[in-house]
Amino acid sequence: MAYQTFALKYRPRTFDEIVGQDHVATTTARVLAKALACERGPTPEPCCECEMCLAIDSGRALDLIEIDAASNRGIDDIRELREGVAYAPTQSRVKFYILDEAHMLTPAAANAFLKTLEEPPEFVHFVLATTEPHGILPTIRSRCQTFEFRPIAPALIVGALREIAGREDVEVEEEALGAIARAAGGAMRDAESIFDQAISFARGQVTLATVNAMLGVTDAELLASFADAVAAGDIQGVFEGMDAVVAGGKDIGQLVEDLSLYFRDLMRLSLGVSPPRWMQAPTAGRERMQAQAQAIGSRRLGETIEALGEAAVRLRETAQQSLLLEVTLAHLASAAEGAAQTAQAQPQATPAERPAPEPPVEEPEPEAVEPEPPAEQPKPEAVEPEPPEEPAEEAPKPAADEVAELPVALAGGEPTLEALVEHWPLVCRRLEDDGQLSVLAMVRDATPSDFDGETVALTFPSDYPWLRDRVAEGYTSRVSDAIEVVFGTRLGVRCVTEEGPAEAETGVEEAAGSSAQEQDKTVEALKLNFNGVEEQEGSL
């Protein structure tokens, strides 16, 4: 017998075999066609044994016509359909038309199809399948019964795949079935196709590692190592992990998605809600995940998932995806390091060290005393008014390290170069609050060097001309947004290096390419941006 893919071999033959669509089971097109054409029918359940049932299962039924409306969408195709509808069925008592992707019909074709759909011959039935019901004409929708299919729950897909594995006598890890269910996105047919490929790919037991390798999903150990680095505030570990990612040529978008799911599982563990077995890492890693969840905490895990979600959106806006993810993870790790230092600097007193409260002292009640008559008050003498005091000297402006106490917008007229230089840390803080971490990493070491009343010049270190070019090419508007919030005035931004504006205009080609030397400079710049220290050993 010729080989059949799982999607065809295990296609539901009865309503009971349909997985996860109990609310619309009667609208499954092929099963409905069998129920109407069955020699014992029309019947709620086809027998799957008569000639018509077997013909439909094997694709030999002449009276079951499937039309791909995406390829046959014109008015000529619909005219041909209308002519065929008039002929009586050849094998069965009914004729059954299935129009897939029905929303792809042209307006003219849809209008031509409307008359046939309103008054079809009594032996003709139509099923219109679509993923975009709003794309079908309202006049057609009003003449049809509408049933919506839903994505199948991963747990149901896992159960169905487990049953297929039993029938095929295939050994498979539970975690591997969970990975397949996630990759299928709620589609049973896709899950069966992936499982079929995994069996061929594995040539033996289907493991989680096998499925991840086939789908390009990130290895669980790499995900766990990133979580360890975030939990411990190990920025060096973040850089080493990203070096391995870049060297391995892994897809950054897939890595961000996998990290989000991993931290999602950690958050559930931190809240005491254990994820289903098929959603978790391998059993050997459960204790490690529990320790990570406890170390990071539910609040920081929520912030981590939000930061990764923002990074996933911004990946489409940048060509340096690995740099964006590196900055995001390093920021998350540095937050853990800062929290640990604060906890050490402010030790809390133990209950034994706290002094016991003293009991309240009862004061004696005062004796009643008759009030004396008020004495005559002398008339106030005329007093010359004192001269007004000189206005107090203006309080000095806070230092840069006190920038967190400043208001969001500074008052006091037009900004000056001195004010821009002094309050530049507040602009950087605004970028951080707005989630612009990659922009913050690039402009944190820049310094306002010139101001003509409308445009401020940012001077970048001469060793990093590529930082100047990256900001100039696509991020000046975000810096302007932060300046506007802080100073109440929107200013233009131009980028120069320490050599002067002439080099900024002509030196773009010097930053072209991404040599190994520039990659090293990238790492060093990020270390400095996250409170790192340049040392001969290269440690943070």
How does pLDDT run across 155-174, given as a tens digit for each residue?
888 888 998 888 888 899 88
How does pLDDT run across 213-255, given as a tens digit for each residue?
888 777 778 888 999 999 998 988 899 999 988 888 888 988 9
Structure tokens at 182: 């996630």
Residue with tokens 């619909």: 78
Q: Is the pTM of this model over 0.85?
A: no
Rounded mean pLDDT, 265-273: 86
Whether 96 and 36 have beta carbons less than 8 Å apart is answered as yes
* 231 HSE (CA, 13 A, CB side): 21
Task: Please enumerate, as own/partner, the contacts of 347-354 that have beta carbons within 8 Å and a separation of 24 or more.
Answer: none
Phi, psi of 450, deg, nearest 5: -155, 145
Whether 176 and 211 have beta carbons less than 8 Å apart is answered as yes
Structure tokens at 340: 């640990």
CB atoms inside a 10 Å sphere around CB 121: 14
How does pLDDT run across 16-35, given as a tens digit for each residue?
656 555 434 464 777 888 88
Q: What is the set of domains in the chain, with CATH numbers?
A: 21-141 (3.40.50.300), 154-215 (1.10.8.60), 220-342 (1.20.272.10), 400-529 (3.30.300.180)
Task: Please enumerate, as own/partner, the contacts of 500-507 that have beta carbons within 8 Å and a separation of 24 or more.
Answer: 501/457, 503/465, 504/468, 504/472, 507/465
**pLDDT of 515 higher than 80:** no
3-state secondary structure 107-162: HHHHHHHHHHHHCCCCCEEEEEECCCHHHCCHHHHCCCCCCCCCCCCHHHHHHHHH
**pLDDT of 106 higher than 70:** yes
How does pLDDT run across 329-372, given as a tens digit for each residue?
998 988 765 555 555 545 544 444 444 445 544 544 545 445 45
Sign of the C-alpha dihedral computed for residues 290, 292, 294 and 300 taken in this order: negative
- Cα–Cα dist 467/242, whole Å: 20
Residue with tokens 């097109």: 29
3-state secondary structure 21-48: CHHHHHHCHHHHHHHHHCCCCCCCCCCC
* 195 HSE (CA, 13 A, CB side): 36
